[in-house]
Structure 1
Amino acid sequence: MRWVVTGAGGMLGTDLVDLLRARGENVRAPGRAGLDVTDAAAVDGAVRGADVVVNAAAYTAVDAAEDDEARAFAVNAVAAQHVARAAARHGARLVHVSTDYVFDGGATGPDARPYAEDAPLAPRSAYGRSKAAGEWAVRSEHPGGLVVRTAWLYGAHGTCFPRTIVRLARDRGSVDVVGDQVGQPTWTMDVADLVMRLVGAGAPGGTYHGTAQGQASWWELAREVVAAAGLDPEGVRPTSSAVLARPAPRPAWSVLGHDALRRLGVEPIGDWRERWRAAAPRVLAGLDDPSAHVSSSDSR
């Protein structure tokens, strides 16, 4: 099949392109410099001739979006509409990547349940609003499209939480990490594999959750990460979201359910701890190089 991957220079896009090519697929992979996804005509030209289009392009600067919601909306909603419309026009299958931030993240306590694929959207941040609008645009323009929500992404190609935490722990000896936000740490390579499996299974149009199984707080993940790097996990200290406040509100509960995958007969991504252990050697590679710069950011 002929694939087009927008946002191919990002953490997820890079892994998806690498995986597709490793499996012998024909891939066109325009990055930000090669394709302005906010330009409808350029998107139409890029999509023409594709069998499958994966829209992994996104504005992911969660805090910056609070002061630049128009730009976030242009990339996450208007551009998503361009991609969906072009894919529908040219008869291509569409996979659109979305996020847990479309939910309010307010569930707490032992009775909290994973968000179902059809749970009401209630974003609390500018980033979340723009991604929710992107989902609506995709469903309107391409009813057969697949919306794949993911969360807490990490990978080998770009800035991500594990790489940042290892650098901070090495530099400082200890690090404070929030323990009151719970989600599903997810390897970008696993999301890439899931996208391929969904397309291969002929998944009907709809929403699917592409996150690892299980759940963890950022503090729990950080302890696993520093241990994998050969550091003392006792140097990771729990703190609260109130202490480490950020401009954009973070969901306290970002656990997504996988019933739609199971109904289709597609196996969800495995448990987050097992997948982290498989991913760690690749994700943490190169951190011993002092020239490797890592800064804190949201990546999804």
Structure 2
Amino acid sequence: MKILVTGYNGQLGYDVVLEGNRRNLQMIGTGSGELDIRDEKQVKEYVQILRPDVIIHCAAYTAVDNAEDDKETCWDVNVNGTKYLAEAAQDLDAKFIYISTDYVFNGEGNTPFVETDKAAPVGYYGLTKFEGEQIVQSILDKYYIVRISWVFGINGNNFIKTMLRIAETRNELSVVGDQFGSPTYTYDLARLLIDMALADKYGVYHASNEGFCNWAEFAKEIFKVAENSVIVNSITSEQYPTKAVRPKNSRMSKQKLVEKGFKPLPNWQDALIRYVQKLSEEVK
């Protein structure tokens, strides 16, 4: 099986290619340097030459705050790029896996969102990702839409790396404590995505590590695992304003994964322990 992965230079795309290689699949990872997904002609020609059986579309414009100002670029990447890739997949009758986000929801309430809940993004980034979802559903039959949240991986920057870097110079910091969700380790998620690529249980799914926490709780656990004595003070979203509104409730139910026979991801605390260990090995 030949699998094309966009966004190879990012956290998730990198781990998806590694996981596919571990299973002896033919993996082609591409970044913006090899393929500009905003260029329709280039996308169609590239995919026609490669003729993949599956496209796993990890590439995205993910700078949530910048998206509020740089709307044209965000739309071009997240909407137009997705459209061109989905059409290219349709031409080959290839499977298509589109990576979406918890930001498609409004973040209200305190119960986990299920896949059928109404999307109502409050920021431009979330809007473009939801538009991408709708395009995929309108063009293809053999598709997976996988909504993820709070991603961390070896290849790239993330909340964990930021916390550990800050801890080098500070012994106390404030972190938002009223936004809840699930951290997601790309190593674990990549295994699920390859499982999906090898199956035909198409549809919309939520996928993140099991369990919920807020950012302050996440930070405290990071320092605990890293054996660091930094003090974390929990603050409100209003005390840490950002250009783009963050959803306070990013909890997502993953029950559908179980119902469809996919293996759920381990709990986030377990993922964090393995990740911090991996980081320490990389430093050595």
Q: In 1, Cα distance between the equivalents of 2:198 and 2:4?
A: 16
Root-mean-square deviation (CA, aligned residues, Å) is 1.4
Correspondence list, 1:198-237, <5 A: 198-204=196-202, 206-233=203-230, 235-237=231-233
Correspondence list, 1:12-91, <5 A: 12-48=12-48, 49-91=51-93
Match of 1:106 among 105, 108, 131: 108
Preserved CA contact (<8 Å) 1:44 1:83: yes
Q: In 1, Cα distance between the equivalents of 2:121 and 2:279?
A: 30
Residue equivalent to 2:95: 93
Q: Which moved more, 1:257-266 or 1:244-253?
A: 257-266
Gap regions ≥5 residues in structure 2: none
TM-superposed deviation, 1:287: 6.3
Amino acid across the alignment from 2:170: R
TM-superposed deviation, 1:71: 1.1
Q: In 2, Cα distance between the equivalents of 1:254 and 1:203?
A: 25
1:159-216 deviation per Cα after TM superposition (whole angstroms, max 9, x unaligned): 0000000111221111111110000011011111110112223222x10111111100
Gap regions ≥5 residues in structure 1: 289-300
Question: What SS is found at the alignment partner of 1:143?
Answer: coil
TM-superposed deviation, 1:128: 0.5
Q: In 1, Cα distance between the equivalents of 2:77 and 2:254?
A: 27
Preserved CA contact (<8 Å) 1:47 1:53: no
TM-superposed deviation, 1:22: 2.0
Q: Which moved more, 1:241-250 or 1:42-51?
A: 42-51
Percent identity of the aligned residues? 34
Match of 2:149 among 145, 148, 151: 151
Q: Does 1:256 align with 2:252?
A: yes
Question: What SS is found at the alignment partner of 1:256?
Answer: coil
Residue equivalent to 1:298: none
TM-superposed deviation, 1:45: 2.3
Q: In 1, Cα distance between the equivalents of 2:259 and 2:182?
A: 21
TM-superposed deviation, 1:260: 2.0
TM-superposed deviation, 1:62: 0.3
Taking structure 2 as the reference length, what is the TM-score of the superposition?
Answer: 0.96
Match of 2:276 among 247, 259, 280: 280
Match of 2:129 among 128, 131, 134: 131
Amino acid across the alignment from 1:6: T
TM-superposed deviation, 1:259: 2.5
Residue equivalent to 1:187: 185
Question: What SS is found at the alignment partner of 1:29?
Answer: strand
Question: What SS is found at the alignment partner of 1:146?
Answer: strand
Q: In 1, Cα distance between the equivalents of 2:63 and 2:264?
A: 27
Question: What SS is found at the alignment partner of 2:175?
Answer: strand
Amino acid across the alignment from 1:78: N
Q: In 1, Cα distance between the equivalents of 2:28 and 2:238?
A: 44
TM-superposed deviation, 1:91: 1.2
What is the aligned residue count? Answer: 282
- Detail structure 1 runs of 4+ shifted over 3 Å in the superposition: 283-288
Q: In 2, Cα distance between the equivalents of 1:244 and 1:160?
A: 18
